[in-house]
Amino acid sequence: MTSTQPALEFPLPGGTRVDTALLQTRAYPHLRYMGSKYRLLPTLANVFAQLGGETALDPFTGSGVVSYLLKAQGFHVTSRDYLNFPVVLARASLVNQTTMLTSEDVEQISRGQNRDGRDFISTTYGGLYFTPEDLAFLDSAWSQIATMRGARRDLAIASLVLAAARKQPRGVFTVTGLRYDDGRESLHLPLADQFRRCAEAWNSSVFEGPACQTERGDVSSAEGSWDLVYLDPPYAPPRDDNDYIKRYWFLEGLSDYWQDGTAEIMEKTGTKKLVKRPTAFGSKRTIGGALAATLEQFSGSSIVLSYGSNAVPDLDTLTGLIADVKGSRPEVITLRHRYHFGTHASANRREAEEYILIAP
Ligand SMILES: C[S@@+](CC[C@H](N)C(=O)[O-])C[C@H]1O[C@@H](n2cnc3c(N)ncnc32)[C@H](O)[C@@H]1O
């Protein structure tokens, strides 16, 4: 990734706060997530430091890594997503200030003892994704987690979600076979062992900082005012829709045990996935209006918007939308970005530019 345009007018600081915050983000567990900004953190950290402020909203939180960076930079962060599992990850590592899973917690969950005989995951997903032992582990782990409360429960669920994501090739649940098995150890480690590692990783991420909160919901229902708002919506592709639930529905189901076994499942699909959750940001037909409304909603805050060159609308339209609500065009940083999620069909779209639009 290289900066092709030193677009910021103000000098980038080498301040210790930025450096210290970036060091802290190294403790954040890596979840492969479409559109995640792990590699943009140094640039974002400098932008956030320049804009300053005390409160920040991250309403498309995803993996949660940008919220975590903002907390490390001293902001009181409100983190949101319309999916449940990103909210659980944020509660475990952002809202949580001091609590960790104990070794007894981890042992209790990973031992595989099923407290109440539940088997929703084993019976629904038998023959798909995981071995029978791994599926049985997920049921038994949830039978233990069901007795836990507060931050320890969030950390345990976050560990289960991360373990399942790491055991699935490319971290997505769109295919059932091992077509993308590249022999990595993490794909073969029993899920109970993977869980232990992930529990250690989430524990290491816990740090004390400004009070933060997390909410589940559509961006349009975010209520409050913030000094800084970081917008990282789904990038609407020129063809097809951008649908997070299509890729991550298993993690979503796992984060609340398929709403205690009541979630609506598409029984006729080979994967038995959860039903789609359409969002106006997922489609080229509706994203323009959704972006305009979101920018208007946060026009009183400093806005930082992430977007990609391989998506709709284009850069000129985006800067125009921001000018409409802010009265002037934003600064733009352009970074070359290599996407991990290209398939063969979209290989020509793998190389793209990543924009960061800044409107103080
Ligand atoms: C590009 S990802 C965010 C990535 C994140 N910044 C990171 O670094 O991991 C977009 C996120 O927006 C969420 N999302 C999609 N539509 C939404 C909506 N209408 N309101 C709130 N969240 C939404 C998705 O669930 C997804 O997690």
Same domain as 91, residue 109: no
- pLDDT at 1 exceeding the cut of 60: no
Choose the residue to mutate in 58, 61, 251 for probing ligand 1, maximizing ligand atoms within 8 Å of C-beta.
61
- Tell which of 255, 277, 299 closes a domain: 277
Same domain as 269, residue 124: yes
Q: Which of 38, 50, 151, 26 is nearest to 358 (CA)?
A: 50
Contact by Cβ (8 Å): 359, 303: yes
DSSP 312: B
Same domain as 114, residue 76: no
Pocket lining: 219 vs ligand 1, CB cutoff 6 Å? yes
- pLDDT at 7 exceeding the cut of 60: no
Q: Which of 166, 159, 165 is nearest to 141 (CA)?
A: 159
Q: Which helix (H) or strand (E) holds 3?
A: strand 3-5
Same domain as 53, residue 5: yes
Atom of ligand 1 at shortest range from CA of 81: 22
Same domain as 91, residue 11: yes
Phi and psi at residue 305, in whole multiples of 5°?
-115, 130
Report pLDDT for 338.
Answer: 67
Same domain as 72, residue 23: yes
Report pLDDT for 68.
Answer: 98
Percent of the chain, pLDDT > 70?
89
Residue nearest to atom 19 of ligand 1 (CA): 218
Report pLDDT for 256.
Answer: 98
E strand map for 209-342: 213-216, 228-231, 302-308, 331-338
Pocket lining: 86 vs ligand 1, CB cutoff 6 Å? yes
Pocket lining: 65 vs ligand 1, CB cutoff 6 Å? yes
* Residue that wins the pLDDT comparison between 1 and 84: 84
Same domain as 195, residue 341: no
Same domain as 156, residue 131: yes
Pocket lining: 129 vs ligand 1, CB cutoff 6 Å? no
Same domain as 265, residue 197: yes
Q: Which residue's structure tokens are 């956030």?
A: 48
Distances (CA, A) of 195 to 109, 150, 168: 9, 19, 13
Q: How confident is the model at residue 337 (pLDDT cuts 50, 70, 90)?
A: confident
Interatomic CA distance for residues 15 and 21, integer angstroms: 10
Pocket lining: 307 vs ligand 1, CB cutoff 6 Å? no
Interatomic CA distance for residues 167 and 145, integer angstroms: 20
Residue nearest to atom 26 of ligand 1 (CA): 62
Whether the bond between 313 and the residue before it is cis, its omega within 30 degrees of 0, is yes
Same domain as 93, residue 51: yes
Q: Which helix (H) or strand (E) holds 76?
A: strand 76-81
Percent of the chain, pLDDT > 90?
77
Q: What is the mean pLDDT of residues 235-248?
A: 89
Domain boundaries, position 292 = 1-97+211-238+279-360
Strands 3-5 and 213-216: unpaired
Same domain as 263, residue 143: yes
Atom of ligand 1 at shortest range from CA of 218: 20
Q: How confident is the model at residue 112 (pLDDT cuts 50, 70, 90)?
A: confident
Report pLDDT for 173.
Answer: 86
Pocket lining: 234 vs ligand 1, CB cutoff 6 Å? yes
pTM for this prediction: 0.93
Q: Which of 173, 159, 243, 168 is nearest to 205 (CA)?
A: 159
Contact by Cβ (8 Å): 212, 76: yes
Fill in the amino acid letter for 309: S
Q: How confident is the model at residue 11 (pLDDT cuts 50, 70, 90)?
A: very low
Pocket lining: 35 vs ligand 1, CB cutoff 6 Å? yes
Residues in the chain: 360
Interatomic CA distance for residues 228 and 196, integer angstroms: 36
- pLDDT at 13 exceeding the cut of 50: no
Fill in the amino acid letter for 305: L
Q: How confident is the model at residue 187 (pLDDT cuts 50, 70, 90)?
A: confident
- pLDDT at 3 exceeding the cut of 50: no
Interatomic CA distance for residues 141 and 91, integer angstroms: 19
Same domain as 227, residue 154: no
Contact by Cβ (8 Å): 155, 255: no
We report the CATH number of the domain holding residue 13 as: 3.40.50.150
Q: Give the number of other CB atoms < 10 A from CB of residue 208.
A: 8
Residue nearest to atom 13 of ligand 1 (CA): 60
Average pLDDT of the chain is 90
Q: Give the number of other CB atoms < 10 A from CB of residue 63.
A: 25
- Tell which of 230, 259, 277 closes a domain: 277
Pocket lining: 249 vs ligand 1, CB cutoff 6 Å? no
Residue 163 Cα, ligand 1 centroid: separation in angstroms? Answer: 21
- 22-68: per-residue pLDDT in tens? 999 999 999 999 999 999 999 999 999 999 999 999 999 999 999 99
Total number of domains constituting the chain? 2
Report pLDDT for 67.
Answer: 98
- pLDDT at 8 exceeding the cut of 70: no
- Tell which of 277, 298, 330 closes a domain: 277
Lowest mean pLDDT among 164-173, 222-231, 300-309: 164-173
